[in-house]
Structure 1
């Protein structure tokens, strides 16, 4: 308009036409796309293009505003008018450049995040190459299995202790997800014949130790014994093999989350809203640092961490129930608007806390799958007493339960006729006959064959997978 006012009609109409074309093109693109279409922009090449285009638009708008101002001959104004108009034009330049600068910065930050956290395809010989990451990222399969590991790498410990282990089995078409939670004290897991540890532990991991051989030791054992595993940093592969063999699933990828870095991630999205069924004491000596009161609470990162980790007045199995609720709450509440509004904080937190073997080429496909999961049905099954005893696990029974849970996840949801069940993280007590537990010197709970039912420290109804919305009140 400034060029038209200054009498430069050809230039003015050309600029106005170009603006209208770009505006119309942007509107058409925005109205004909949804969030899943935008996930393809998460690749490194696309992010580079976005940052360059955003930078070019920022400079273009700056040049347009400046030339428009000059075309109006500001030198004809008095000194005061020149100062005021110059300041206003400067503010206008910053205003029109700011959105494009934000987009360019977000693209550069995302690219840095992707390249920091995710590895290039072929860097891990244990991961099958992806033939076509665009048209067929999952190699023709209808389900993909991710191992989500919560690692406790505190400064007073050597290595990483995997205290939280959950497999998310996702239906690629629908996004329906079944989460399988395994107790950290599951003893003497077996390994598939393809694993080097199968020959080393033919009767199960550390089977000669009645109170040892815990699942949360497998990762570190694999890292500590490259001579057995066939190379360095094979802890993830050892744990994937053990858990996959236990569940009867092929674990495709893993993601390790440092529990203490998780605090920053939760704070970055503004906290998590979680229903707390009972007071949870945390931190200090025997929970003296604080108490998370019962009720629906907005938890900070530190509170969410301790809500999922505290065992004061409870046990490992109760903690597992709370952990799955934290994971479910994050999956539901990390909405696109929160991610965009706090993107830099989230990216910086993620770079510090995450380790994964998901190849960089699959990032767009994983992002698209995550959007499906957010709007899909999430169910959960925990392998805890009284149905499953970690000290004397019934491996075939576990695999049958996994198969039933996966079959149930693809069936339509039926309307419940009975009253709503308890929504505590651990569920209601099961009245089915079961073997009663005994406690070993190490604090392990094991089953006593032939004994009658005895209540566990945490009541659990874990015969079938439960909806997280139902169990956690999400």
Structure 2
């Protein structure tokens, strides 16, 4: 009798057929390899889902809920950025202590999620069972998983560091501020000062003085340059007007100042024992008596209200330029670098430590600083034009992409060299105006002979009329 052996059929267990990711056939290298790649993919796309599919559901639910919350927060942020940008900016920029708390929470959430993703990724690799996959996949699967983790986790950590730097910068630069005021006659006017506190100076001097007027509706920007040596200027109503009712002239107060220029106000105020008494609220509002006196002078000269100031300390100016990656300037004439001649008529070749050559130049911070300061081979009017040119070049570098790419450097430089009394609550509105301003050309007024201003005997009534006609041109008035 012949015995016929029945063929042996291996049957796949029902659970393996129904849930191969959770109950894999560990004897099948092909199945285990495919399963491993699936777990890597879902861990990247939806962190936490790999654990849910592979059986470790408690950890998976934590990961999924965290992922869903992060997605929800991102979607809400996008919706607010499109439909309610002012509310979003107020929450994270203009809300004072509320913004501090919000930024801190965002920073902690990003760090916590980066840590959770690290845990989920290494737990996923454990669930893959690398010893059961194909030999090549034993190297490729963890390599891909760790590479993606490094890239995305590093992005989350970098985002957390950016949030932390933003919080620190907001606190440092805008920690003190004056009252939040509405626009004056349709404009926000901000005094922009280039302040030099170099080692050779006995006090802070304002070597670059201008007023930035921003239209509160259109964002159009007008910059008015005020020569630092402008003589006999008047003050608006206030303590300096009471002290100098006929204007600020040379040597009219030997105790508290010398020189007729507006850059001598530091000597006339802060070197005088009355400085703090003249402007008792200056320090608490993030300003100084000298700055407040300069505001009053600029108001008296231009005939407009100037509630805020921004000062850039030229001693650290180069740091900000370098943080932005340099600036592009078209140089019209050869300019020397250096502190100037040791005696009258000394040739520049004898004292110059270097030269800025004519033509298109990409300047680093040191070169840009010399470009703004150089005056010995040109006059103050040329110097003012170069400073205005440099201001516009810096503004051009403040693109979202450039600032984000160099955020830490820009934030560190900004907190070191920028001082202001702008209230933090105004930042959301100013942010929108800045976006509008970048789409329009900048109008400039220079109180120089080119604009009809006598450098030795200015007609301040004519100056005020010039400013008004520029800010409110007749065509605009007719439409109203």
CA distance in structure 2 between the partners assigned to 1:246 and 1:218 by the alignment: 14
Partner residue of 1:249?
304
TM-score w.r.t. the length of structure 1 is 0.74
Partner residue of 1:234?
289
CA distance in structure 1 between the partners assigned to 2:262 and 2:295 by the alignment: 11
1:188 and 1:94, CA in 2 relative to 1: closer, same or farther beyond 3 A?
Answer: same
Report deviation, 1:302.
1.2
CA distance in structure 2 between the partners assigned to 1:352 and 1:380 by the alignment: 28
Partner residue of 2:328?
273
Partner residue of 2:27?
none
Deviations 1:187-242 (A, max 9, x none): 1221223x112121121113555993211111342222352514373111111011
Q: What is the alpha-carbon root mean square deviation over aligned residues?
A: 3.5
1:78 and 1:267, CA in 2 relative to 1: closer, same or farther beyond 3 A?
Answer: same
Partner residue of 1:396?
461
Partner residue of 1:422?
none
Which is richer in helix? Answer: 2
CA distance in structure 2 between the partners assigned to 1:376 and 1:409 by the alignment: 20
Q: Secondary structure at the match of 1:157?
A: coil
CA distance in structure 2 between the partners assigned to 1:118 and 1:350 by the alignment: 11
Partner residue of 1:225?
272
CA distance in structure 2 between the partners assigned to 1:224 and 1:159 by the alignment: 8
1:36 and 1:159, CA in 2 relative to 1: closer, same or farther beyond 3 A?
Answer: farther
Specify every segment of 5 or more residues in structure 1 that has no aligned partner in the other structure, as ranges.
Answer: 122-126, 131-136, 413-474
Q: Secondary structure at the match of 2:182?
A: coil
1:56 and 1:25, CA in 2 relative to 1: closer, same or farther beyond 3 A?
Answer: same
TM-score w.r.t. the length of structure 2 is 0.74
1:301 and 1:408, CA in 2 relative to 1: closer, same or farther beyond 3 A?
Answer: farther
Q: Secondary structure at the match of 1:224?
A: coil
CA distance in structure 1 between the partners assigned to 2:172 and 2:80 by the alignment: 32
Partner residue of 1:183?
227
Partner residue of 2:263?
216
1:369 and 1:402, CA in 2 relative to 1: closer, same or farther beyond 3 A?
Answer: same
Report deviation, 1:139.
6.4
Specify every segment of 5 or more residues in structure 2 that has no aligned partner in the other structure, as ranges.
Answer: 1-37, 40-49, 94-98, 341-347
1:17 and 1:60, CA in 2 relative to 1: closer, same or farther beyond 3 A?
Answer: closer
Give runs of aligned pairs for residues 438-453 of structure 1, distance below 5 A: none
1:239 and 1:7, CA in 2 relative to 1: closer, same or farther beyond 3 A?
Answer: closer
Partner residue of 2:316?
261
1:191 and 1:82, CA in 2 relative to 1: closer, same or farther beyond 3 A?
Answer: same
Partner residue of 1:96?
152
CA distance in structure 2 between the partners assigned to 1:272 and 1:49 by the alignment: 36
CA contact (8 A) 2:184 2:305 kept: no
Match 1:109 to one of 165, 189, 194: 165
Tell me the matched-pair count: 399
Q: Secondary structure at the match of 2:453?
A: coil
Partner residue of 2:103?
47
Q: Secondary structure at the match of 2:222?
A: strand
1:114 and 1:21, CA in 2 relative to 1: closer, same or farther beyond 3 A?
Answer: closer
CA distance in structure 2 between the partners assigned to 1:336 and 1:30 by the alignment: 17
CA contact (8 A) 2:51 2:124 kept: no
Report deviation, 1:402.
0.3
Report deviation, 1:140.
8.6
Report deviation, 1:5.
9.6
CA contact (8 A) 1:119 1:358 kept: no
Partner residue of 2:20?
none
Report deviation, 1:184.
0.5
Q: Secondary structure at the match of 1:114?
A: helix
CA contact (8 A) 2:174 2:420 kept: yes
Question: Structure 1 stretch 264-273 or stretch 203-212: which is displaced more?
Answer: 203-212
Q: Tell me whether 1:347 sits opposite 2:411 in the alignment.
A: yes
Q: Secondary structure at the match of 1:151?
A: strand
Match 2:387 to one of 319, 323, 331: 323
Report deviation, 1:407.
1.7
CA distance in structure 2 between the partners assigned to 1:50 and 1:304 by the alignment: 37
Report deviation, 1:355.
1.2
